[in-house]
Amino acid sequence: MKTSNWTRILVALATTAFLAGLAGTAMAATKAKAKAKKGPVVSTVTGDLAKMTNKKGKLVGAQVKDSEGKLFNIILDRQGAKLAKALAGKKVELTGTLSMKGKGKAKKTWLRVKTFKEVAAAPAEPEEPAGGEGEEGGEGE
């Protein structure tokens, strides 16, 4: 039995459309995976917490400065405000998602706080007495 040219053309077009659909689905899945990998970066930051208030005493900002001097601006949602009010002036450990905002020198790091806790400051090392050990006393009397 002979098939017409129109039938062959329709079968070829249907096959092409089907394969294009599969390729589009695969590309969309790849983009979704790439976007998931680029998502928010979860990080833990330890440092000294400072809060900023206006003249009326209202909380307007908070920052954590780590041991390397890097500043992390705290997003003042419910958790961020709770942190700033509870632990201002103390050493804290924060876990949350980091994001960068701004361009060039105005670029700032922002932290959306998920969990926080106060961290005890490292104890100061005891100083050794001047003069060293074993200078007092004499040899066996």
In this structure, the answer to whether residues 26 and 53 fall within a common structural domain is no
Is there a domain that residue 141 lies in?
no
In this structure, the answer to whether residues 25 and 45 fall within a common structural domain is no
Is there a domain that residue 3 lies in?
yes
In this structure, the answer to whether residues 34 and 66 fall within a common structural domain is no
Instruction: Work out the burial of residue 88: count CB atoms within 10 Å of its CB; fewer than 13 is exposed, 13-18 middle, 19 or more buried.
Output: middle
pLDDT value at 52 more than 90: yes
Is there a domain that residue 53 lies in?
yes
In this structure, the answer to whether residues 51 and 111 fall within a common structural domain is yes
In this structure, the answer to whether residues 35 and 9 fall within a common structural domain is yes
Is there a domain that residue 14 lies in?
yes
90 vs 11, which has greater pLDDT?
90
Would the pTM of this model clear 0.85, i.e. be above it? no
In this structure, the answer to whether residues 48 and 114 fall within a common structural domain is yes
Q: How confident is the model at residue 26 (pLDDT cuts 50, 70, 90)?
A: low
22 vs 99, which has greater pLDDT?
99
The confidence score (pLDDT) of residue 23 equals 59
Query: Which tens digit of pLDDT belongs to each residue from 97-109?
Result: 999 998 888 899 9
In this structure, the answer to whether residues 31 and 45 fall within a common structural domain is no
For residues 49-64, one letter each, b for 16 or more C-beta atoms within 10 angstroms of the residue's C-beta and e for the rest, the string is bbbeeeeeeeeeebbb
Q: How confident is the model at residue 1 (pLDDT cuts 50, 70, 90)?
A: low
The confidence score (pLDDT) of residue 126 equals 65
Number of domains within the chain: 2
Domain that holds residue 91: 41-118
What phi, psi does 85 have (nearest 5°)?
A: -70, -35
Give the integer Cα–Cα distance in Å for 32 and 111.
24
Query: Which tens digit of pLDDT belongs to each residue from 129-141?
Result: 655 555 555 555 4
Of 20-24, 38-42, 86-90, minimum mean pLDDT range: 20-24
